[in-house]
A and B are shown apart, each in its own frame.
Chain A
Amino acid sequence: MSEIRGIYTLWLREVKKFLREKPRLLNAFCQPLLWLFIFGTGLRFSANVAGHNYQEFIFPGLVCQAMLFTAMFLGVSVIWDREFGFLKEILVSPVSRPSIFLGKMLGVSTDVMLQGIIIFPFALLIGASISPFVFLRALPIMLLITVGLTCIGLVFASLMKSFEGFGLVQTFINLPMFFLSGALFPLSNVPQWLVWVSYANPLTYGVDALRTVMMGGAWAPLFPMYVSIGILLAFDAVMFTIGIYAFGRTE
């Protein structure tokens, strides 16, 4: 019972902090806008994505991007907790390590979901027809993407001792995962090696599933839905397990 209370309070803390951070919210709102209109418009005229409106094509990718970057940034915030001493207060409490991890994970995941959802109104601006029904179908897929990504962020945070390491996460996790997920270009006409590397990236399956749901018949899925969902579930399970293990070892 008190474990649940502990998880709840850790969750609440993350969400409160997220909503209070006004500049970050503003940034969260504006960055996808830039991608969508500048990058999207530019590429629409120079690259040819057969049969699609390019903006509509990258929209699900940008949702994934926003969630990816947020998950990494907030996951790594555990380092701040360590730096400012608050982590000690949590670690010395009777709440077990797995529960601490779960509370933190749920909190950051909520933020990441909010971040993804914030972007949806832009879909209307680019003329994509996203009905409430489509939106509701996108949510569970977004959740599957979120959990795994959040756990990656938290695992890194438990390994790093200072915030300097965040640059590494940026270079070796954020950007490769984003660029190699098919978010910006279809994987249908790229070299084979790039296809294989992308298939090793869990986010590829998230982007593909999200596109399948959001673009309907206009998109030919790379994988059947059950494969994407299955892989995302496995990804979440593996990262969650690693996370619990890594957190149990933090001092």
Chain B
Amino acid sequence: MSPIIETFALTRRFGSTVAVDAINLAVREGEVFGLLGPNGAGKTTMLSMLCTILKPTSGTASVDGYDIVRQHAMVRRSIGIVFQDPSVDADMTARENLQMHADLYGVPVSEQNDRIQSVIELVRLEDRVDTFVSTYSGGMRRRLEIARGLLHYPKVLFLDEPTIGLDPQSREHIWDYIQKLREREGMTIVLTTHYMEEADRLCDRVAIIDHGRIVALDRPSDLKKGLGGDTITLGTDDGRVLRDLLVQNGVSDVITVQDGEVRVTVSDANVLLPRIIEAAVGAGIRIEHVSLSHPDMNDVFIHYTGKDLRQEEVRRKRFGRMAMMRLRRAR
């Protein structure tokens, strides 16, 4: 199956700034695709081009089979977007805003009321639906914008930091609904976020973008694995004895000892931990406490966009080695 979104050396400059730098990317149909990156990385610029409100400086892209430059009218029919910046009409009520959206997107009149009702319930604005948006709090406006983006069941939905400023319940609620909608309608979702946990939980694949380029692209689990694995920390009286034992048994080469604690870096802690304990018990070493840590998306993010690792030459090296270097440096 050909990708639903494909970019071809997509580039956008603002003066001397290259906001998006010749990006080639393919998003599969039905996928939730995350774009992560620090402020100014080019995420919004990228989405603006894909949703046809910003023309590329060079290169192009296709969305749902249509070219974003030559067939922008067709692209617009296929997409929905929740902008990063506010875009509701505050002098209108929520219902009026939704009504306008339904009309602009040609939602059949007979379906409009039902759909408006269901998205309003989703974002829990039922009791405010007929008051002016100017009286809403920031989070309520955001929820309204999300409701609006979902109103016309687009094939591809772009969400630019959709849950920014939302309380945890609202966030959960919205993600549940989006997951459902995606299953039911086969929707493809491209989102940007600064909440790593959100990206981890929701995205099938994530691209990390920095200075207008993609610096990593993979499933969240693989990105985390790429960092070199989990860390097991073991507390014991004599760390060095344990370390030597583990090295002998070939559990891991990356072992450090500090203040009686042994830190072991392994590819899969869940499998190796029982083996380590067994070995220790067999050798008569008493283990006082154990803790596990898996790298999370935060680590991945910092790893690819952190200042000290930004230089080109470092970026080209293998992930695993970099992770080890980082661990050593941290010591």
Rounded to whole angstroms, the CA-CA distance of A94 and B83 in the bound complex is 16
Given contacts A20-B91, A91-B53, A94-B76, contact A85 B106 (CB under 8 A): no
Whether a CB of chain A sits under 8 angstroms from the CB of B171 is no
Interfacial chain A residues near B73, Cβ < 8 Å? 94, 96
| Chain A positions within 8 Å of B92 at CB level | 13, 16-17
- A45 interface residue (CB < 8 Å to B): no
Given the complex of chains A and B, what is the CA–CA distance between A88 and B54 in angstroms? 11
User: B54, B77, B101: which contacts A251 (Cβ < 8 A)?
Assistant: B54
Number of A residues whose C-beta is below 8 Å from B?
A: 24
List B contacts of A95 (CB < 8 A). Answer: 104
Whether a CB of chain A sits under 8 angstroms from the CB of B260 is: no
Contact count band on B: 20 to 34
The answer to whether A85 and B76 have CB atoms under 8 Å apart is no
A-B Cβ contacts below 8 A, count: 72
Q: Which residue of B lies closest to A95 (CB)?
A: B104
A91 to B51, CA, bound (A): 10
Contacts known (A9-B99, A96-B73, A251-B54); A86 close to B104, Cβ less than 8 A? no
Counting CB contacts under 8 A, is B290 at the interface?
A: no
Label chain B's interface by main secondary structure. Answer: loop
Cβ-closest chain A residue relative to B84: A85
Contacting pair B89 A86 (CB below 8 A): yes
CB-defined contacts of B167 to chain A, threshold 8 Å: none
- Chain B residues closer than 8 Å to A94, beta-carbon distance: 73, 76-77, 104-106
The listed residue (A84, A93, A251) touching B104 by CB distance below 8 A is A93
Please tell me if A189 contacts chain B, counting CB pairs below 8 Å.
no
Residue A2 is within 8 A (CB to CB) of chain B in the complex = yes
- Does residue A124 face the partner (Cβ distance < 8 Å to B)? no
Pick from B53, B87, B96 the residue with the most CB of A within 10 Å: B87
Is B86 part of the binding interface, using a Cβ–Cβ cutoff of 8 Å? Answer: yes
Chain B residues with Cβ below 8 Å from A85 are 83, 85-88
Q: Is the CB of B87 within 8 A of A89?
A: yes
> Roughly how many angstroms separate A9 CA and B95 CA in the complex, as a whole number?
13
* Contact indicator per residue, chain B 91-129, by CB within 8 Å of chain A (1) or not (0): 110001001110111100100000000000000000000
Which A positions have Cβ atoms within 8 angstroms of B? 1-2, 5-6, 8-10, 13, 16-17, 20, 84-86, 88-96, 251
